[in-house]
Amino acid sequence: MIVLVDYGMGNLRSVEKALQKMGGNVKLSQDPDDVRRAAKLVLPGVGAFGDAMKNLKKRGLDGAIKEEVAAGKPFLGICLGLDLLFEESVEHGLHQGLGLLPGRVELLPTRLKIPHIGWNRITIQKQSRLLQGVPNGSYFYFVHSYVVVPQEDSDILCTTEYGCEFVSAVERDNITAFQFHPEKSSTLGLTILQNYVS
């Protein structure tokens, strides 16, 4: 069972439908016990970092996610779900994240319009099972104003250009997370979700 973590932020239905379309047995849940019982975890989300962490803590989901990821459970983060993996964010003040990866979240350092909305290309920096069948330079759909700045270069999976180069995906061991929205990115986005499901 794939548990889609519901902490009251973002459009979870589109992620749920896309995972189901790819054959995933998906449960949308706010229950930390479901997180512990899951075979895989997906943390999606849109919105403010501080609010998201508050909601995760209020429901006891933060501890459950950290335990299960530390135990090696496959984890997929999408958009805000990527940002939350890191130690801290400067979005509307300084907020502590889940701290599963070293680094922080900062405002996208570009002179171009923020938020960055629309289709943009990824440059793949290392191999990943989740990117099987995804050509380098493929386009994906982005909606964000903040970016992750990993401490370890080895965690960087993809980068993207938007008036500057930023990290658009990370991967370490059982953790993979994308700044873009696979569920809104047509065939190649579904390819990523199919790879995760299988």
R_g over Cα of the chain: 15
Task: Kindly report the three-state secondary structure assignment for every residue of the chain.
Answer: CEEEECCCCCCHHHHHHHHHHCCCCEEEECCHHHHHHCCEEEECCCCCHHHHHHHHHHCCHHHHHHHHHHCCCCEEEECHHHHCCEEEECCCCCEECCCCEEEEEEECCCCCCCCEEEEEECEECCCCHHHCCCCCCCEEEEEECEEEEECCHHHEEEEEECCCEEEEEEEECCEEEECCCHHHCHHHHHHHHHHHHC
Distance of CA 96 to the CA centre of its chain: 17
Amino acid identity, residue 9?
M
Catalytic residue among 95, 116, 144, 181: 181
Confirm whether 95 is a catalytic residue: no
Confirm whether 92 is a catalytic residue: no
Catalytic residue among 68, 79, 144, 171: 79
Confirm whether 116 is a catalytic residue: no
- Quote the CA–CA distance of 39 and 172 in Å, as a whole number: 18
For the annotated catalytic residues, the residue numbers are 79, 181, 183
